[in-house]
Structure formats: structure tokens, C-alpha cells
């Protein structure tokens, strides 16, 4: 085959190969075009609401007894009788236990006999003194002896009384340390009595809150051991000083619990309501974004997310007061705001009454 005859065939193959080489370029262009399409970010929105919001200081503290006392033995001896058990209610002065008193009873009897003898001698000397038959010195000596015996008698009677161990306060026997037949020494504890009326919680509050906390303010106490049942109390006392080491001041909260559900040692989560703002603009606390100390939210304007700086007030129960930056009609992004960019195109996926934002849904 001559060169002239081969030329048309070679030309046809060149045209075909050229067409195949152009196909990938068209695909790349198509792929690049798809990447440039704007994808709307799905978000949920809501309008600010109006309502009352309270300012609350929260902390934790153990519940304690208002008064608690170890009942100690004032004389030594053997425990003869125990009259109460743990959990029993007792009154101040009530006998809780008795010690062996045989020896002290004998000592008291002897002291009483000696005192009576000396009293008779003293009475005779009074007659002699009036008749001038005894000197003033001898008379005074007998009088001093009688006074000393009276003191000894009173001491013996007191020690005998101490063999009866008594409750120093009203309350409940929370511990019993002795058994019948045990020997007990002076100052050794025999019982512990705890007063449950009232119970108290001591909360140490940072000094920055000092101007906010006052006696009489309502307090809510949630106790885990009671299945989070809320107990209502109030602030009883506020310490007039701030601890320079901790930078805190102590407040006392008295708790009335007639049902005796609360026990000393339980922990309470305490909320003190110290102020209230009425009919204020509020949004969910989770809607707020914080960056470099600045608070902001995203609002929807013409299918775009616009970042707006806000000033907040009180925060409570998942809601936060908006002092500045929003109006009642704004649509605030409540879900999907984390990672959202300013001026990003969005699609609203929840139903909002009177919403002026397109949900980017296709229309028929």
C-alpha cells in the first residue's frame, strides 16, 4: 500500500484518539462544578419567649444536727441499768441509765449522821453562848465544823445523784456506748443525744455573693437520699465576716422536718433564690455561644445564619435572660449552632409558628 493510500486511515485514527482525549476534561469540569454547589446547613430555631426568671445561688452542704451532745459519766461505777436505746426520744433531764450506787449511798448516810450529831451539838452551844458559858472562839469553831459537814453532805448527795445518767438536751439517742455490767469512768461517754429540731446546713458562699444573700430568703434543698424530694427552708443567719483564708462567708439554714425523713449526715443540693426579674426575654441557655468572653447567638435572616452579640442577665432552669441584642420576633438557632459559620446558608428542619425562613424544601 502506498503512502497516499495509508494517509486517510491514519487521519481517521488521529481524529478518534483526539475525541477520546477530550472526555476526561469534560468530567473534571462537571465534578468541579458539583463541589462548588452551596449545601444548606440543617438547624432548628425558635423565637425568644417572655416570662419571669429568678437569680439563684447554688451549692452543696451536709445536713447537721442543730445540737448534739455526748452524755458523759460524772462518777465512776458499774452500769446497773440502761433505760433507753438508740432511736428513743428523750427530754432534758430524763434518766438514761443508772450506775451501782451502794457505796455512795453508804457515804451519804454516814455524812448525814455526822451532820445531824454536829447540828445537835451546835444547838446546845447556841444556848451556852447566849448564857455566856462558852467563848466566841469555841462557838465559831463548832459553827465552822458544821458548815464543813453540810458541804460534805451536799457533795455526797450530789455524787449519789450522778449515778443516774441524764440527758443534757432534748433529742434522740443516736448512739449508746455502754452495756449493763460495764465499768465506766468519770468523763467517759455513755450516750450521744442528737437534736433534730431543727436540722441545719452551713453553706460557705464566695464573698462576691455577700450583697445578694440576706436572712429570710427562700431556700430549696434537694436531697439525693430522699429521691430528690425538695425541702423548703430559709436563710436563718448570715455571718458578718468573710474568712480571709477562703474568701467565703458562712450562712446558716434551719430545716424543719416534722416527719423525720432527713437524717444528719445526708448531703443537700441547696438553691437560694435572691432576686427575680419579671416578663423578660429568654432563650435556651444552650443557644448561647461564648468566645473570648463575648456572648453571641445565631439568628436567621433570609436563609442565612447571622451571628449576633447579646448581653445576658439571670440564668436558671436551662433558660437565660437576654438583656440586649434580640427582639421577640427574632429566629434564634437552638440546635446546630455549634460549628456554624457566619453568613452560612441554612435550612430550618423544625416547624416554627410565623417563621419567615424558608425551609429550602422543593415545591411542586
Identify the pLDDT of residue 130: 72
The answer to whether 83 touches 95, Cβ cutoff 8 Å, is yes
What are the beta bridge partners of residue 28?
Answer: none
Residue count (the chain)? 364
What are the beta bridge partners of residue 158?
Answer: none
Q: What is the pTM of this model?
A: 0.63
Identify the pLDDT of residue 353: 64
Backbone angles phi, psi at 290, to 5 degrees: -120, 130
Sign of the C-alpha dihedral computed for residues 73, 74, 78 and 84 taken in this order: negative
Helix, strand and coil percent figures for the chain, each rounded to 5: 25, 40, 30
Q: Is 96 domain-assigned?
A: no
Identify the pLDDT of residue 116: 85
The answer to whether 280 touches 52, Cβ cutoff 8 Å, is yes
Better pLDDT: 10 or 332: 332
Q: Which residues contact 89 (CB under 8 A, 6 or more apart)?
A: 171, 172
Q: How far apart are CA 161 and CA 163, in angstroms?
A: 5
Among residues 190, 199, 196, the alpha carbon closest in space to that of 172 is found at: 196
Looking at the structure, tell me whether residues 269 and 285 fall in a common domain. Answer: no
Q: Is 363 domain-assigned?
A: no
pLDDT-based confidence at 52, cuts 50/70/90? Answer: very high
Q: Is 245 domain-assigned?
A: yes
Q: CATH code at 205?
A: 2.40.30.170
Q: Is 11 domain-assigned?
A: no
Q: How far apart are CA 168 and CA 69, in angstroms?
A: 7
Last residue within a domain, chosen from 275, 298, 317: 275
Choice among 17-21, 145-149, 199-203 with the minimum mean pLDDT: 17-21
pLDDT tens per residue across span 314-349: 998 889 999 999 999 999 999 999 989 999 999 999
Q: CATH code at 132?
A: 1.10.287
pLDDT tens per residue across span 111-125: 888 888 888 877 777
pLDDT tens per residue across span 246-276: 999 999 999 998 888 899 999 999 999 999 9
Domain boundaries, position 343: 41-53+278-348
Name the domain count of the chain: 3
Amino acid at each position: 500500500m502506498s503512502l497516499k493510500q495509508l494517509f486517510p486511515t491514519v487521519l481517521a485514527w488521529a481524529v478518534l484518539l483526539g475525541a477520546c482525549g477530550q472526555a476526561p476534561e469534560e468530567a473534571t469540569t462537571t465534578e468541579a462544578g458539583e463541589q462548588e454547589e452551596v449545601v444548606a446547613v440543617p438547624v432548628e430555631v425558635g423565637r425568644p419567649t417572655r416570662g419571669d426568671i429568678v437569680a439563684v445561688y447554688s451549692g452543696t452542704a451536709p445536713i447537721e444536727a442543730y445540737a448534739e451532745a455526748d452524755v458523759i459519766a460524772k462518777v465512776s461505777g458499774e452500769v446497773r441499768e440502761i433505760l433507753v436505746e438508740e432511736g428513743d426520744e428523750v427530754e432534758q433531764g430524763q434518766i438514761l441509765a443508772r450506775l451501782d450506787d451502794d457505796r455512795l449511798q453508804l457515804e451519804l448516810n454516814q455524812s448525814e449522821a455526822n451532820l445531824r450529831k454536829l447540828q445537835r451539838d451546835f444547838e446546845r452551844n447556841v444556848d451556852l453562848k447566849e448564857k455566856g458559858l462558852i467563848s466566841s472562839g469555841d462557838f465559831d469553831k463548832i459553827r465552822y465544823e458544821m458548815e464543813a459537814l453540810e458541804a460534805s453532805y451536799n457533795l455526797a448527795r450530789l455524787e449519789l445523784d450522778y449515778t443516774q445518767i441524764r440527758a443534757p438536751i432534748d433529742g434522740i439517742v443516736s448512739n449508746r456506748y455502754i452495756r449493763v455490767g460495764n465499768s465506766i469512768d468519770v468523763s467517759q461517754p455513755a450516750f450521744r443525744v442528737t437534736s433534730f429540731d431543727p436540722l441545719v446546713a452551713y453553706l460557705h458562699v464566695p464573698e462576691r455573693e455577700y450583697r445578694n444573700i440576706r436572712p429570710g430568703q427562700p431556700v430549696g434543698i434537694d436531697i439525693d437520699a430522699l429521691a430528690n424530694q425538695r425541702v423548703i427552708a430559709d436563710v436563718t443567719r448570715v455571718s458578718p465576716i468573710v474568712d480571709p483564708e477562703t474568701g467565703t462567708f458562712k450562712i446558716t439554714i434551719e430545716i424543719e422536718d416534722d416527719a423525720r425523713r432527713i437524717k444528719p449526715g445526708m448531703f443537700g443540693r441547696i438553691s437560694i433564690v435572691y432576686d427575680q426579674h419579671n416578663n423578660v426575654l429568654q432563650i435556651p441557655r444552650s443557644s448561647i455561644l461564648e468566645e473570648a468572653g463575648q456572648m453571641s447567638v445565631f439568628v436567621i435572616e433570609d436563609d442565612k445564619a447571622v451571628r449576633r452579640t447579646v448581653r445576658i442577665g439571670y440564668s436558671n432552669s436551662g433558660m437565660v435572660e437576654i438583656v440586649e441584642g434580640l427582639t421577640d420576633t427574632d429566629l434564634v438557632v437552638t440546635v446546630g449552632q455549634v460549628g456554624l459559620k457566619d453568613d452560612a446558608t441554612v435550612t430550618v428542619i423544625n416547624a416554627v409558628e410565623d417563621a419567615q425562613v424558608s425551609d429550602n424544601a422543593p415545591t411542586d
